Amino acid sequence: MAEKRLRSLGERLSKDPETHEKYKAGIQDLLDKGYAEIVPEDKAHAGMEFYLSHFNVKSQAKPSKFKIVFHASKMFGSTPLNKKVLQGPNLTKLLVGVLLRFRERPVAMMGDVEAMFHQVRVTSKHRDVHRFLFWKDGVIRGEIQVYRMT
């Protein structure tokens, strides 16, 4: 299934060289920042494996923004990875409460963490359930390389 999705991605990227270059750069950025790694040959078959599909998202408001999204809700058999991942409490605050608390102090602050989900550390024993496929050196229809999120 992962290879089928990669072929589908390859068809889309081969029709749009600019997006293909941005996609290659995005995967390389994940590797350079240590958010992903190539699966070592001796770990090719870890036993507990799950392959995430991925795709790109472009913002209508910011056409220069490019983001690669990993699809953990995609089903394999009858189970998506999201059903097996420990879910913490919902820490999202309601907008009304945030706006009302702005009135409590003279200064309000806001922040945004870039690539937050990529920065969440995955323990080494669980990395193999966060695998994904991409072509070696980004060459479509070239050798397929197995990666995993760290």
Q: Domains, the chain, ranges and CATH?
A: 2-79+91-149 (3.10.10)
What phi, psi does 71 have (nearest 5°)?
A: -100, 85
Q: 0.75 exceeded by the pTM?
A: yes
Place of tokens 């953990």: 72
Rounded average pLDDT over 125-147: 93
Per-residue pLDDT tens for 28-82? 999 999 999 999 887 777 778 888 889 998 878 877 778 898 887 766 666 666 6
Q: Cα separation of 28 and 16, whole Å?
A: 18
- Identify whether the C-beta of residue 149 lies closer than 8 Å to the C-beta of residue 127: yes
Give the residue from 62, 3, 54 showing the smallest Cα distance to 26: 54
- Identify whether the C-beta of residue 137 lies closer than 8 Å to the C-beta of residue 131: no
Tell whether the model's pLDDT for residue 144 goes beyond 90: yes
pLDDT of 66 reads: 82
pLDDT of 78 reads: 67
Task: Enumerate long-range contacts of 117-122, CB under 8 Å, 24 or more apart.
Answer: 118/30, 118/33, 118/35, 118/36, 118/149, 119/35, 121/150, 122/149, 122/150
Q: What is the mean pLDDT of the chain?
A: 85
Q: Helix 17-32 and helix 2-14: axis angle, to 10°?
A: 130
Tell whether the model's pLDDT for residue 95 goes beyond 80: no
